[in-house]
Structure 1
Amino acid sequence: MPNVLTLSALVIRDRHGRLLLVRKRGTSMFMQPGGKLEPGETFAAAAVRELEEELGIRVGESELEALGHWYGPAANEARTFIDAALFACSPAEDPVPAAEIEEFLWLDLAEAGSRTDLAPLLTEHVIPLLAAVPRFRPGRED
């Protein structure tokens, strides 16, 4: 039986439509900011906590837009699946890598198909969702 991780992930775009991605220390795949829920924590609370811990960005739960759930393979752990709640937000603060974040980047979605270092949640769910739903437009000012 595979291991299942329950987590929250965030969709954050800049005014150019680029998507904020992070790479955690000791891994090779880029993914959305976010992480595992702590005992008794809601998906939204985990998203808020992880965003502040990983990138120093503070948002309230009321600033999150729920985009749904996704179940699929984990990016960096063999025989592991994720049950992920996905949220969008448009924070005013700039990201600063902290905690386990080795680096971050702003991904132009037009370049996503040429990359081999993107997590399955991103390639199988997030990018198709952003491409298919017109309301997901850039919301941040840089």
Structure 2
Amino acid sequence: MTTAPAPSRAPRRIVLLAGPSGSGKGVMSRRSGLPVLGLDDFYREHDDPGLPRRFGIVDWDDPASWNAGAALEALTALAHDGAAEVPEYSISASRRTGTTQVVAGDAPLIIAEGIFAAELIAPLAAAGLLADAIVLHRPTPVVFALRLVRDLRQNRKPPLTLLRRGWGLARDQRADLEGWSRAGMRPEGLHAGTRWLHRLTGVADCEQRHAHAARAGDVLRITAVCFLREGTHGTEVLAVRKRGTGSYMQVGGKLEADESAQEAAIREVAEEIGVTLAPEDLAPLGDFEAVAANEPNTMVCSTVFICRTPLPEPIIVQAELADHRWVQIGEPGTGARLAPLMVEHILPALRAL
């Protein structure tokens, strides 16, 4: 059995920053000096049939217009790996225009700012990555004026549309602030909030400098199944992501009492993707240990199997899974965060075959 080295540093933690459109979230983020992930870049494309509409245009203030899973995936990669590929989004064109890389460097904290930041409180807290959740509170007339000037300067939409939208958002501002507060965000003014971010950064930086190397407190016994297929650019392996998490891994899970790894693998495959396997469908790849992707201070000890049985198309994930993707074994890329077990052991073992 191979044991993974302890991580060189603890994951960066994330400050969620919400507030009315145009209230100055970007200003506060820049003044903090911290790396920033703009959550607005995770809006859905203009031709998505599920986009909500208001004021004659897409309602960018409705969470249904936003891809929470993609934002969580990018934040998880930033927290653990220090870099993430993120989309560049044009509000005026209502579509993605490219991608860019956000790099966290040595910063102990990351700011994720946008009107939908509260949607990420629960999953980030569960993953041990949440440092704070703040909502920027400024007077409604000030926010209305700042928003209108910004939108006109950026030519986001026709002036009359921007005025109608601005009046509507001004009427909703008090209720929106109350909603953010109920979700667990603390109201702060621009200047007080900026000072607080500076103090919080100092504390986090001190903790990192003086912390000892992280050591796992628990070990989970799990099993995992590598489904393989031949893709356009070589062999690919199936990876899945659980709801409320940002890391991709193999189909599998924890062993139940008196259950063998093979029995658990067959059960988990049936539960997570609805496929029934026979014992002879599984070939052992190895036993590996690594830091758990989604549970703080935990190691996983996994028995990993290979399965070349063709899967039905389309693959339908179920149980606790949110989505899936096929990852190239030779060049997995940087578009998604892969679990440490996959990066450190499974992919190298598959390449060695």
What's the TM-score, normalizing by structure 1? Answer: 0.88
For residues 18-70 of structure 1, the C-alpha deviation after alignment (integer angstroms, 9 at most, x for no partner) is 11000001110000110000111000000000001000111111211011100
- Within the candidate set 83, 90, 102, 2:308 is matched to 90
- Within the candidate set 256, 280, 294, 1:62 is matched to 280
Take 1:67 and 1:102, find their aligned partners in 2: how far apart are those partners?
26
**Which amino acid is 1:12 matched to?**
F
For residues 87-117 of structure 1, the C-alpha deviation after alignment (integer angstroms, 9 at most, x for no partner) is 0112233231010010011112344242451
Take 2:335 and 2:289, find their aligned partners in 1: how far apart are those partners?
22
- Within the candidate set 101, 108, 112, 2:332 is matched to 112
**Which amino acid is 2:327 matched to?**
L
**Residue 83 of structure 1 aligns to a residue in which SS?**
strand
What's the TM-score, normalizing by structure 2? Answer: 0.36
Over the aligned positions, Cα root-mean-square deviation in angstroms equals 1.4
Question: Rg: which structure is higher?
Answer: 2
**Residue 49 of structure 1 aligns to a residue in which SS?**
helix
8 A Cα contact 1:57 1:91, kept in partner: no
**Which amino acid is 1:125 matched to?**
H
Deviation at 1:8, TM superposition (A): 0.4
Aligned residues: 133
For residues 107-130 of structure 1, the C-alpha deviation after alignment (integer angstroms, 9 at most, x for no partner) is 123442424510001000011111
- Which ranges in structure 2 are unaligned for 5 or more consecutive residues? 1-215
- Structural mapping, 1:1-142, within 5 Å: 2-16=217-231, 17-94=235-312, 95-115=315-335, 117-133=337-353
Take 1:131 and 1:111, find their aligned partners in 2: how far apart are those partners?
10
8 A Cα contact 1:34 1:51, kept in partner: yes
Take 2:341 and 2:257, find their aligned partners in 1: how far apart are those partners?
23
- Which ranges in structure 1 are unaligned for 5 or more consecutive residues? 134-142
Take 2:276 and 2:323, find their aligned partners in 1: how far apart are those partners?
19
Poorly superposed stretches of 4+, deviation over 3 Å:
none
Take 2:324 and 2:266, find their aligned partners in 1: how far apart are those partners?
18
8 A Cα contact 2:224 2:305, kept in partner: yes
Take 1:93 and 1:20, find their aligned partners in 2: how far apart are those partners?
10
8 A Cα contact 2:229 2:310, kept in partner: no
Q: Select between 102-111 and 4-13 the one with higher mean Cα deviation.
A: 102-111
Take 2:230 and 2:278, find their aligned partners in 1: how far apart are those partners?
21
Select the structure that is richer in helix.
Answer: 2
Asked which structure has the greater RCO (Cα within 8 Å, sep 6+), the reply is: 1
Deviation at 1:11, TM superposition (A): 0.8
Identity of matched residues, %: 37
